[in-house]
A and B are shown apart, each in its own frame.
Chain A
Amino acid sequence: MPMTFDELGINLRHTSGQEKTQCPKCSNDRRKSSDQCLSVNIDEGVYKCHHCGWKGSINKTRTPIERPIIKPEEPLTDLPKEVVKWFEERGISEAVVCDAGIGYKDRWIQFPFYKGGEVVNIKSRTSDKQYRQSKDAEKCFYRFDHMVGMEAVIITEGEMDALSMVQAGYNNVVSVPDGAIAPNSNPSDRKFSYLLSAEEHLMGATTVILAMDDDPAGHAMRDELSRRIGREKCYRVTYPTDCKDMNEVLMKYGEDKITEIITDAHPYPIDGVVLVSDVLEDAIDLLNKPDSKGLSTGWSGLDEYYRVSPSEVTVVTGVPNMGKSEWMDALMINMIQDYGWKFGIFSAENFPVKHHLLKLVGKFTGQAFWGDERIDEETARNSMGILNDHIKFIGTQEDSVTIESILDQARILNFRYGLNGLVIDPWNTVEHKFRDSENETNYVSRILASLNTFAKIHEIHIWVVAHPRKMESDNNRKVVVPTPYDISGSANFYNKADNCITVHRHKDEDEDYVGIHVQKIRFQYKNGYTGIGKLNFNIRNGKYGEYFKQDEKPLF
C-alpha cells in the first residue's frame, strides 16, 4: 500500500483537511484536463475520483488530528539533599515538596500534574530555569485536583508560586501549565486548552484570585484569563514593590505577607464604587498607548464617524431591505480580515446557516457565490477554513432563543475561543420574556443593561440590529431615515447604547449610495462623531466599498 499521496501522483496544496485536485489517472486524457475531479481527505488518507471512479486509501502512519494522550510515569520522589535544600532556600519546606510528589531525575526537578489522582503530565525544570514537559501529555492546571469543588480558586503563573502559597497555608491553589503569554500577542486557543478540562470548576467557583507575576507578560495573562473566566468574580493581587511573584514574597517577607496579599486582593473594577487607585495604572496605560483610537471599520470614509472599540454596545437600525444585515456582515468580515477578530453570531433571518456562510464567503473573497461567474469550490473551501476559526453561529438549535440564552452561549464561546464581537440580528426574532408586572420599556432597559455589562466584563463589542416601528415618508413620499428613537419597543435603545447607527439607502437621479448615519457615539475622542458616511454596495458579491460619485469614478 502506498505511504504518501505523492507516490500515487496526487498533488496536494495542503497538509490537512479535505481538498479537490486533478486525478492522475484520467485528467490528462480529458478534454477538460483542469477539472478537479479527485476528492482527497488528507487526514483520513482516502481519495476518490468523481469522473473515472478511481479510489483507494494510503497507509497513513500519522493522524495529525487525533493524537493519543500519553500518561507519563510517576516521578521518583527520592530527592537528593541538594534539591531539598534548593527548595528550602526558596522558602518551601520539605513537607510541602514531598506532599506535592515532586521528583528528580538527572538534573531535572519534576513537578507532576495530578488529575483525578493520576499523573497526567510532568513539567521539569533545572535550577537555571530551563523547562520541558512530557511529550503528548494532557494539558491541565498544575494541582488540578485541588480546585475541584472549590468556591474560591487561586491561579498562579508557575509551580513555584503555587507551592509558595501552599507553604503559606492555601490549598485551593493551581498554576497554569505553560506560564504567561507575551504582551500584545494574539494567543492561540491551544495556549488555553487547559481551561477546557477546568471549565466546570472555574464556572462553579464564585471567586477566582489571579496571582500572576507583576510584569507585562503576567498582566497580559491575567487580563486574558479574567476576560475568559468572567471579571465579575475575578480578583487581582498587589505585590510589594520589590517583588514580582509569590515566591519572591515568600523569600523576602514570609508566609504572613502572602496571607496579607491574598486578603487584600481586590476585584476588577466593573461595578460599584471604583477608586482612582483601582484604575490608575489602566488609565496610564491608555495615556501611553501610541494609538488609543478605536479600530477602523475598513472603510476610510467611515473612520471619522465610527470606529470599533471593545466593551461597547452598538445598535444598528434601518427600514427593511436597506441593507442592515448585509452591512453588519460586511463589517464583520472586515474586522476578521484586518484584525483577526472572532465573532459569535445570532442571525435568525439567515437560517439555515449554510446560506449565511455562503454569503459571508462571498464577502470574504469579493466574489459572487451565485450565477455563472461564481466562486470556485477550492476558493470557497480555503475561505471557510479561515472563517472556521473566526465565526461561531449561536442559537441554531433552540426553538426559542432569548437574550439570556444567547449570552450564555457567548460566555462559553468566549471562554473557549476568546470572542471579540457578538452580533444579535435582529432583535425582534429573539423571544422576549417579560418578568411579572414588567412593561416593554422596563424590559428593554433591563436587557440592554445586561448586554452592556456583558460587553464590559468580557471586553466584547456587541452589535444589536433592531427594526424601527414603522416606515415613515416625507412630503415627497421618500422614506425618512429612522432614528434609534423610532426603534420598536423603547427609547432606551437610544439612551443605553454606546453607539447608534442607521443604515439607509439613498437613491435619486444624482446619487445612489448607502448612508451610514451615525446618530450617537458615546466616546467621541476615540470612536468618531455623529455624521453620515457614504458607501457603495456591490450586489454581485455583497461587499461595501468606498463611495465615489458617478462622475468621480477613477478611469482606471
Chain B
Amino acid sequence: MENILNKTKSHYFKAMGKIKNKPTMDYRIRRMRKRLQEEFDAVWVRHEKGEVTFDVWEKSLNKWFNAESI
C-alpha cells in the first residue's frame, strides 16, 4: 500500500510541476476547475482506501489538469 501511495504522490507532484496554469476570468471555467479538483480529491481518498484503481485516479487527475490548462 505504501508503494502505491508513493507512486501517486510522485506522479501528482511531477504532473503538477509541468502544468501551465492559465488564469481565467470566465467564472464558469473557474467553477468547473473547482468541481473537478473536488472530484479528484474524492477519487484520491477512495484510491487510498483501495476502492478505485490507479487508472481511475490518473484519469481524474488528467481531467482536472486539462481544465486548469484551458
Q: Is A14 a contact partner of B65 (Cβ separation < 8 A)?
A: yes
CB distance from B31 to the nearest CB of A (A): 6
Do the beta carbons of B69 and A15 come within 8 Å of each other? no
Tell me if A378 and B55 are in contact (CB < 8 A). no
Closest beta carbon of chain B to A376's beta carbon, Å: 10
Does B5 sit at the interface, judged by CB under 8 A? no
Partner of B67, one of A16, A191, A386: A386
- Looking across the interface, which residue of chain B has its beta carbon closest to that of A186? B39
Q: Are B58 and A188 in contact (CB under 8 A)?
A: no
- A366/B69 in contact, CB under 8 A: no
What's the Cα separation between A364 and B66 when bound, in Å? Answer: 12
User: B69 contacts A378, CB within 8 Å?
Assistant: yes
Assess whether A17 is interfacial by the CB under 8 Å rule: yes
A365 interface residue (CB < 8 Å to B): yes
Which residue of chain B has the shortest Cβ distance to A64 in the bound complex? B55
Pick out which of these stretches binds chain B: A225-233, A238-246, A332-340: A332-340
Partner of A334, one of B28, B42, B63, B69: B28
Q: Is the CB of B28 within 8 A of A382?
A: no
Q: What string of 1s and 0s marks CB contacts (under 8 Å) between B3-30 and chain A?
A: 0000000010001001110101010110
Q: Confirm or deny: A383 has a beta carbon within 8 angstroms of a beta carbon on chain B.
A: yes
Is the CB–CB distance between B15 and A337 below 8 Å?
no
CB distance from B61 to the nearest CB of A (A): 8
Closest partner residue, chain A, to B20 (CB atom): A13
Q: Please, which residues of chain A bring their CB within 8 A of the CB of B32?
A: 337-338
Please give, as numbers and ranges, the residues of chain B lying within 8 Å of A14 by CB-CB distance. Answer: 15, 18, 62, 65-66
Shortest distance from the beta carbon of B25 to any chain A beta carbon, whole Å: 9
Instruction: Pick the contact of A17: B28, B53, B62 (CB < 8 A).
Output: B62
Do A340 and B35 touch across chains, with their CB atoms under 8 A apart?
A: yes
A190 to B39, CA, bound (A): 15
Q: How far is the CA of A337 from the CA of B11 in the complex (A)?
A: 26
A554 CB → nearest B CB, Å = 13
Report how far A14 CA is from B18 CA in the complex, Å. Answer: 8
Binary contact track A1-36/B, C-beta < 8 Å → 1, others 0: 000000000011111110000000000000000000
Q: A190-B53, A386-B63 are in contact. Are A15 and B70 (CB under 8 A)?
A: no
Chain B nearest CB from A479 CB (Å) reads 31
Is A337 in contact with B31, judged by CB distance below 8 angstroms? yes
- A15 B11 Cβ-Cβ under 8 A: yes
The residue in chain A whose Cβ has the minimal distance to the Cβ of B31 is A338
Query: Within 8 Å CB of A16, what residues of B?
Result: 58, 62
Q: Is B66 a contact of A385 with CB atoms below 8 Å?
A: yes
B28: chain A residues within 8 A (beta carbon): 298, 334, 337-338, 366
> In the bound complex, do residue B70 and residue A382 qualify as a contact, i.e. CB atoms below 8 Å apart?
yes
Contact B58 A385 (CB under 8 A): no
Q: How far is the CA of A389 from the CA of B59 in the complex (A)?
A: 11
A337 touches B29 (CB 8 A): yes
Q: Is the C-beta of A197 less than 8 angstroms from some C-beta in chain B?
A: no
A13 near B65 with CB under 8 A, answer: yes
Instruction: Please give the distance in Å from A294's CB to the nearest CB on chain B.
Output: 18
With A and B bound together, what is the CA distance between A386 and B39 in angstroms?
Answer: 14
Which of A132, A188, A366 sits near B56, CB closer than 8 Å? Answer: A188
A379 CB-CB contact with B under 8 Å = yes
* Whole-angstrom CA separation of A188 from B42 in the bound complex: 12
Q: How far is the CA of A132 from the CA of B50 in the complex (A)?
A: 9
A477 to B62, CA, bound (A): 54
Q: Are A385 and B62 in contact (CB under 8 A)?
A: yes
Q: Which of B22, B66, B69: most chain A Cβ within 10 A? A: B66
Does A13 contact B53, Cβ atoms closer than 8 Å?
no
Most-contacted residue by chain B among A12, A191, A337, A379 (CB, 10 A): A337
> A166 to chain B: closest CB distance in Å?
27
Contact of A379 among B18, B55, B70 (CB under 8 A): B70
Question: Given the known A-B contacts A13-B18, A15-B15, are A386 and B31 also in contact in the complex, defined by CB atoms under 8 Å?
Answer: no
Closest Cβ of chain A to B42, distance in Å, is 8
**Minimum Cβ distance to chain A for residue B69 (Å):** 5
- Residues of chain B lying within 8 A (CB to CB) of residue A366: 24, 26, 28-29
The residues of A that contact B52 with a CB separation of less than 8 Å are 188, 190-191
Question: What's the Cα separation between A185 and B52 when bound, in Å?
Answer: 14
Bound: A395/B20 CA distance, A: 37
Instruction: With both chains docked as a complex, state the minimum distance between the C-beta of A412 and any C-beta of chain B, in angstroms.
Output: 22
Q: Enumerate chain B residues within 8 angstroms of A338, measured Cβ to Cβ.
A: 28, 31-32, 35
Q: How far is it, in angstroms, between the C-alpha of A385 and the C-alpha of B36 when the chains are bound?
A: 13
Q: Which chain A residue has the least Cβ–Cβ distance from B58?
A: A15
Q: How far is the CA of A295 from the CA of B54 in the complex (A)?
A: 32
Q: Taking CB as reference atom, which chain A residue is nearest B63?
A: A386
Specify which of B18, B24, B35, B55 is in contact with A190 (CB 8 Å cutoff): B55
Instruction: List residues of B whose CB falls within 8 A of some A CB.
Output: 11, 15, 18-20, 22, 24, 26, 28-29, 31-32, 35, 39, 42, 50, 52-53, 55-56, 58-59, 61-63, 65-67, 69-70
Can you name 12 A-B residue pairings with CB atoms under 8 Å? Answer: A13-B18, A15-B15, A132-B50, A190-B52, A190-B53, A190-B55, A334-B28, A337-B28, A366-B24, A366-B26, A382-B66, A383-B66
Apart from A13-B18, A14-B15, A337-B32, what are 20 other A-B pairs with CB-CB below 8 Å?
A13-B69, A14-B18, A14-B62, A14-B66, A15-B11, A17-B62, A64-B55, A132-B50, A185-B42, A188-B59, A190-B52, A190-B55, A338-B31, A340-B39, A364-B70, A366-B24, A366-B26, A382-B69, A382-B70, A386-B63
Closest 5 CB pairs of A and B: A337-B32, A382-B66, A13-B18, A366-B26, A382-B69
